[in-house]
Amino acid sequence: MVAPTHRYRRLIDNPPSSLCTWAVFLLLWPCSQLFGLVVRLRATLYARGLLAAYRPAVPVISVGNLAVGGTGKTPVTDALVKRLVARGLRVAVVSRGYGGDCAGPVGTVAAGDGCLLMSPRQAGDEPCLLARRNPTLLVFVASRRVRGVQAAEASGAQIVILDDGFQHLAVRRDLDIVLLDSRAPFGNSQVLPAGPLREPPAALRRADLVIMTHAAAPTAPGIAFSGPVLHCRHRLGEELLTLDGAPVPWSTLDDQAALAFAGIARPEDFFAALRARGVVLSATLAFNDHQDYTGEQLNRFIQSCDNEKLLVTTEKDAVKLQAADLPCPCLVAPLVLDFDETGELDKVLEEVICQAQNLHHQVTKVTKVTKKSW
C-alpha cells in the first residue's frame, strides 16, 4: 500500500526519466518558477528590514530544512533538546503544530512537568512526541510562531528552539541549523511543486550550520556552503516500547512476523531499518505523513490489520494510538541519532548556551537587587 503523497514524493525527488514524468514536470515547472520568485522576494524584504522580524529576549535556535519532509528534523530537535537540558537550561520548543487543529492563537502542549496538556489531534504528532520524550520541556504550538515564542518567554524559557523554522523569518534567531538528506540533498533541485525544495539551494547562505542526515548512505555531492557541516546517522533504538512506553526487548520479534506501518514522510526507510534488524514483516502499510488515526481512518486501519498477530510502528505514529483499541499488540521502534562530529556540535551550541546562561544570571541578579530594594 503506497499513499498518493509518497508517489508524488518519488516523482519530485528525482529528475524526470520517462514520458509521463516529463509531462508532469513540464506541467508543474511554471508554478515552481512563480513560487521561487515569491520566496526569494519575501526573503529579500526581511533581509532589508522592509518586513519586521521579532527579536526575542532569549536565544533562539532554528531547526529547519530546504526540502519538504523526511530529513529527520524531529530526531535532531530531540537531540538538541537533550543537550541543552543536560546543561541545566529551561528549554522551550515552538512549533506550527502541523497536522493538529489547535483553535487558539497559542496552545500549550507541555509546561515542563511531564504532563501532556493537548492531544496529538490538537497539537500535532511531533510536538507531542518531543514532549513525551523530554518531560521537562516546554512545548507550544502557534500558527503565528511569534506568539508561540512570546508565550515561551513568558513561561520562563531560557532558550527557544524554533521547530521547522528556516523559512519562518518573522522571528530572529541566534543559530540557524539546516538539515539536508545526504542521499539527495536537493532532490531534483526544483522548488515546489515541481521539486521538493521550499527555497532554492542559494538560501543556504542564511544558515549558520548544516547537518547532513542519513550520512550512512553513499557520499552525496558536495554542497555550496562555507560554514560548518556535520553528519549524523539514523538507527533504531536498543529496545522496543509498548504504546504506554514500557521497554520491550527486540527478541520479542524473534520467530514471528509483524505488520509494520508508518505515517511519516519516508516510510520505506523505517521498513528497511526493521528488515536490516532482522525483523520479518508479513506486510507493510505506508500512510500519509501525519496520518490521522481517528474515526473512519482508524476503522479502516483496524480492518487492514485483520488476522495479524503483531504490529510495529514509529514513535510519531504511536503518540496518536495510545487510546486506540487495536486488534493485536503494537510495539514501537524508537529512532535515535548518532552524530559523527559530536564535539563539533557541542562547540557550535556553546556560544548560544553561554548567551542563555549569561542572560539568566543577569535577570536573576536584577531580581535579587529589586527584591532587596523593597
Residue 309 has pLDDT above 70, yes or no: yes
Share of the chain above pLDDT 90, in %: 77
Domain check: are 345 and 329 in the same one? no
Domain check: are 86 and 198 in the same one? yes
Question: Which residues constitute the domain of residue 349?
Answer: 60-235+338-358
Residue 193 preceded by cis peptide, ω within 30: yes
Q: Where does the pLDDT of residue 13 fall: very low under 50, low under 70, confident under 90, or very high at 90 and above?
A: confident
Residue 371 has pLDDT above 80, yes or no: no
Domain check: are 204 and 342 in the same one? yes
Is 113 within a domain? yes
Residue 210 has pLDDT above 60, yes or no: yes
Share of the chain above pLDDT 70, in %: 94
Residues 6+ apart with CB under 8 A from 49: none
pLDDT value at residue 130: 97
Q: Which amino acid is at 202?
A: A
State whether the Cα torsion 252-254-257-263 is positive or negative. Answer: positive
The secondary structure of residue 288, as a DSSP letter, is P
Is 304 within a domain? yes
Is 4 within a domain? no
Domain check: are 162 and 66 in the same one? yes
Query: What is the average per-residue pLDDT within 39-60?
Result: 97
Domain check: are 87 and 168 in the same one? yes
Domain check: are 230 and 312 in the same one? no
Is 12 within a domain? no
Domain check: are 215 and 133 in the same one? yes
Is 50 within a domain? no
E strand or H helix at 327, and its extent? none
Domain check: are 289 and 212 in the same one? no
Q: Where does the pLDDT of residue 362 fall: very low under 50, low under 70, confident under 90, or very high at 90 and above?
A: confident
CA–CA separation, 260 vs 137, rounded Å?
Answer: 30
DSSP string of 78-100, one letter each residue: HHHHHHHHHTT--EEEEE--TT-
CB 284 within 8 A of CB 278: no
The 10 Å Cβ neighbour count of residue 287 is 22
- How does the average pLDDT of the chain come out, rounded? 92
The 10 Å Cβ neighbour count of residue 37 is 11
CA–CA separation, 118 vs 145, rounded Å?
Answer: 17
Q: What is the pTM of this model?
A: 0.92
Residue 369 has pLDDT above 60, yes or no: no
State whether the Cα torsion 192-195-198-201 is positive or negative. Answer: negative
Is 170 within a domain? yes
C-alpha cell at 154: 513568558
Domain check: are 73 and 105 in the same one? yes
Q: Which of 240, 188, 232, 195 is CA-nearest to residue 71? A: 232
pLDDT value at residue 14: 81
* CATH code for the domain in which residue 177 is found: 3.40.50.300
Lowest model confidence (mean pLDDT) among 38-42, 167-171, 268-272, 292-296: 292-296
CA–CA separation, 335 vs 109, rounded Å?
Answer: 22
User: Which residue shows C-alpha cell 562530529?
Assistant: 341
Model pLDDT for residues 82-107, shown as the tens digit of each residue: 999 999 999 999 999 988 999 899 99
Model pLDDT for residues 272-302, shown as the tens digit of each residue: 999 999 999 999 999 999 999 988 889 989 9
Is 48 within a domain? no
Domain check: are 213 and 354 in the same one? yes
Q: Helices H, strands E: what count in the chain?
A: 10, 15
Domain check: are 148 and 218 in the same one? yes
Last residue in a domain, options 333, 348, 366: 333
Q: What angle do CA 49, 54, 57 make, to 5 degrees?
A: 130
pLDDT value at residue 216: 74
Q: Which of 99, 158, 153 is CA-nearest to residue 129? A: 99
Residue 319 has pLDDT above 90, yes or no: yes
pLDDT value at residue 374: 58
Q: Which of 319, 321, 329, 360 is CA-nearest to residue 78? A: 319
Q: Give the residue ranges of DSSP H helices in the chain.
A: 4-13, 19-47, 73-86, 120-123, 125-133, 145-154, 267-276, 295-304, 315-318, 342-373
Domain check: are 174 and 225 in the same one? yes
CA–CA separation, 229 vs 362, rounded Å?
Answer: 33
Is 17 within a domain? no
Q: How many domains does the structure of the chain reveal?
A: 2
Collapsing DSSP to helix, strand or coil, 15 comes out as coil
CA–CA separation, 321 vs 161, rounded Å?
Answer: 27
